[in-house]
Structure 1
């Protein structure tokens, strides 16, 4: 619209000028090199305009000829850059798609066309990685270390390559440098921490974790749980060489994350010999309040070796009262009731647990023990048989057949850093590996309950074992088909309980 207005205005202006010149013809004369010319003003004005136009065309052609080489050079450079960026685009797409050979070819083409060494080296390194050529990628990353602009990304690439090779020392070295140079690179914190955990360097991992938390590169809750696992693992490493330092670390771990049962159990084991029973008991009760675990109850029961059976039972009742609704608390009350001979109370607490889904091997063994104490050998055998086929409990598998709590390997502790640290859940390696868990009863019972059936057998009264073999009673062995009582099922119960086995 504006252009149309301008064109119309120009036409009107030309018409006005033409009319003025036509209405006022006038004359024009000039002399040049002895040549005298006289003509009308209109003709002279027209010649002047034509001459001016020709002069403009002439100088425009001169300008075109003068600037043609530079324009040609710029055009060639622009076309070259355009081809380079096209090659760069193809290389990036091929690298992301996993087409390593295509990425390498296009990266080489982009390197030849673009005058950007940093970009070309980075692209070449990525392409080599996509092609699986780790040595080539490593060479490109090492060359990028010379440029301050690409030094950080080069460290990341070298750390990643070292991690893929399983070279944790090299990974930690590159990540450590990047972590010191950049305060905002989250990858440096993660790579350094992971490498230190993979090496089992708990102390260094704790220092890195503290710095990462200070930089807000990890959530406070995750950092707290990870720290608890690291402190516990570090305490275990010092248990045989520096028990004082180990006890301090374990105590700090239990205070950092009360819900982490291994820390509280280890702290109690280390504080007990130092006669710091009150402090150990406080840590165990705090752990039970946060997350009940059978290993905590065992640690509390074994805390004071000089305690009487009644005192141990009372302490366990107090522990159960902290979380009365929890399953582990109910099991503690069952064992305490059995200890006091209150079989009715024990059965009243046990029956609802047995009715809650499929009874586990631990509950089945506990029911077998209770039936044996009540003198019902047939019921005891039935529950013993069910225990041999019942599923195990993940928490109870954390106690092995010798009664040791959380007998984890170094690799298990490395995994625990992330399972508990990031997810807040315990790892159960023995349960995952289908190892025979520690028996529920009677071998690993917290309280040694009386065994009247055994007493009768030892006294020579075998009348309780003369029940005939029943078709639906697989608990009776073929060697005991006569019902003479020599194989009374106690050995089977011991086997199910995990006595002397792994």
Structure 2
């Protein structure tokens, strides 16, 4: 655009010049070699312009003829390069589509037309073709050769890292990732791999330093970096809590500031503050996180902040938590447990019933069983609450990659991923599928003699239910009694001895006392499911204790 305007300006100035000469007539006299030449000024100006134009055209022709060999050579070179890039493009598309043969042919053609030193993508195409053809060693050799080229160094490290990961060589993969981070800290894959390596070794300071070298580009990256930093600071505080209380306090408080709703950071910070006799500040930290995320561990640390407190003092602190987060299951459970310890059974029962209305789950019914046992000692009601706990929804736990843990951890024990644990309800999985071809009625319509017995085991703190063959129904007693008549205790005794005994429950280190109690209840129910009920069995619903009892026996 500017060039066009410049040319128009030049033509305009020439027009003004010629118009100026035309308005001022005159003659130009030139004497040369005895001859005298007289021309007007307008003719002289035109002749000068023509001579300049002729000289320029002549110079252009001479220069074109002089440079013609180079021009011809450049034409063929550009054409050859275009063909090479076309072959390279086709080969890259073929490699992406999984056509190893075409990628190899196009790579060879591109190498003939383009020098590999001028175009490093030829090495990448060769490596991709080797991977598609299954020649892993050739691909690794190509990636290794790329390390000598500064332009291809990161690409070679990436290829070697992926190959090491594929072969399960974690140490080698981590080595390549750390080398890549040294050259380019902004690489996501390299930074994550190096970070996982340092966290796996417990080098929290090194992980924090590596995280600080990265510069987040967007708001989402900044939030992710802050979340990871909070996790690393919490892990560092947990590790140094016993040896360096002040350092653990600083790290935990910084993590709590980065993530105010992060329960592990608040718990560690409160523990460090309590050890330094800063009860008020530690309580404020727990109260702040309780308002955002009620958690049983927060309640336990808050209620037992001072070891010398009486049960009434702990109950008062539990009520304080309930006032901060009303109409919440965890608040009601905290008050119920504290009231049970203080022997205030009515308050404990009211809190447990409120928790059952808000969110019926396993821990609520286990608490009701504890209250019933402590207040009345009625084993029938206790067993009824335990049976309800057995069928109730499970309590939330720390879960990462299918692994259920009692306490939070910074990394997953399965994959080594940072910040993998989540507080949620774990998924229970059946370890063995019941043999196909058998029709089972719903649990409510199956008698204990037909329902298969179950054996539960604890594997890595996760409940696994294994199905076992169904017990054979005991033969009916030949007592000559009519149908519907109750059997006497003497007649029931031999049947009880002949009934098959289900396998014992095998538990591997229960995660908590509630879990141990739940296992005991399940084992007891499995024993009872294979034996006929006695007339004086107290397994009735507490709600029906004062009403009419139906004829026959009743399951939990």
Q: TM-score, normalised by structure 2?
A: 0.57
Q: For 1:272 and 1:136, how far apart are their aligned partners in 2?
A: 61
Q: How does 1:401-480 map to 2 (within 5 A)?
A: 406=407, 408=409, 411-412=412-413, 417-419=418-420, 425-426=422-423, 434-435=462-463, 436-440=510-514
Listed one character per residue, the Cα deviations across residues 303-362 of structure 1 (whole Å, up to 9, x for unaligned) are 3211111111111211222211322112223334445555455444433543457x3221
Q: How does 1:315-464 map to 2 (within 5 A)?
A: 315-339=317-341, 343-355=345-357, 359-375=360-376, 377-395=379-397, 406=407, 408=409, 411-412=412-413, 417-419=418-420, 425-426=422-423, 434-435=462-463, 436-440=510-514
Contact in 2 for aligned 1:264/1:284 (Cα 8 Å): yes
Contact in 2 for aligned 1:197/1:414 (Cα 8 Å): no
Contact in 2 for aligned 1:397/1:431 (Cα 8 Å): no
Structure 2 residue runs without a partner (length 5+):
1-63, 430-459, 464-509, 519-524, 540-556
User: Structure 1 residues 207 and 372 mapped into 2: Cα distance closer, same or farther (>3 Å)?
Assistant: same
Contact in 2 for aligned 1:212/1:218 (Cα 8 Å): no
Q: How does 1:112-261 map to 2 (within 5 A)?
A: 112-117=112-117, 118-182=120-184, 185-213=187-215, 219-239=221-241, 242=244, 244-261=246-263
Contact in 2 for aligned 1:396/1:438 (Cα 8 Å): no
Contact in 1 for aligned 2:411/2:418 (Cα 8 Å): no
Listed one character per residue, the Cα deviations across residues 381-429 of structure 1 (whole Å, up to 9, x for unaligned) are 211112233332123899xxxxx96165964497573436xxxx44788
User: Structure 1 residues 484 and 217 mapped into 2: Cα distance closer, same or farther (>3 Å)?
Assistant: closer
Q: Determine which structure has greater relative contact order: mean sequence separation of CA pairs < 8 Å that are 6+ residues apart, divided by chain length.
A: 1
Contact in 1 for aligned 2:395/2:425 (Cα 8 Å): no
Contact in 1 for aligned 2:236/2:251 (Cα 8 Å): yes
Task: Pick the structure with more strand per residue.
Answer: 2
Aligned to 1:95: 95
Contact in 2 for aligned 1:294/1:395 (Cα 8 Å): no
SS at match of 1:419: coil
**Cα RMSD for the two superposed structures:** 4.4
Q: For 2:278 and 2:527, how far apart are their aligned partners in 1?
A: 50
Q: What is the CA distance between 1:142 and its match in structure 2?
A: 3.0
Q: How does 1:68-87 map to 2 (within 5 A)?
A: 80-81=80-81, 83-87=83-87
Q: For 2:529 and 2:261, how far apart are their aligned partners in 1?
A: 43
Aligned length: 385
Q: For 1:408 and 1:184, how far apart are their aligned partners in 2?
A: 27
SS at match of 2:327: coil
Aligned to 1:493: none
Q: For 1:144 and 1:76, how far apart are their aligned partners in 2?
A: 30
Contact in 1 for aligned 2:235/2:410 (Cα 8 Å): no
Listed one character per residue, the Cα deviations across residues 410-449 of structure 1 (whole Å, up to 9, x for unaligned) are 64497573436xxxx44788989524542449989xxxxx
Q: TM-score, normalised by structure 1?
A: 0.62
Q: What is the CA distance between 1:195 and its match in structure 2?
A: 4.1
Contact in 1 for aligned 2:252/2:266 (Cα 8 Å): yes
Q: How does 1:289-308 map to 2 (within 5 A)?
A: 289-308=291-310
Contact in 2 for aligned 1:394/1:431 (Cα 8 Å): no
- Which piece of structure 1 moves more, 272-281 or 295-304? 272-281
Task: Pick the structure with more helix per residue.
Answer: 1
Contact in 1 for aligned 2:410/2:420 (Cα 8 Å): no
User: Structure 1 residues 201 and 97 mapped into 2: Cα distance closer, same or farther (>3 Å)?
Assistant: farther
Structure 1 residue runs without a partner (length 5+):
1-62, 399-403, 445-471, 488-502
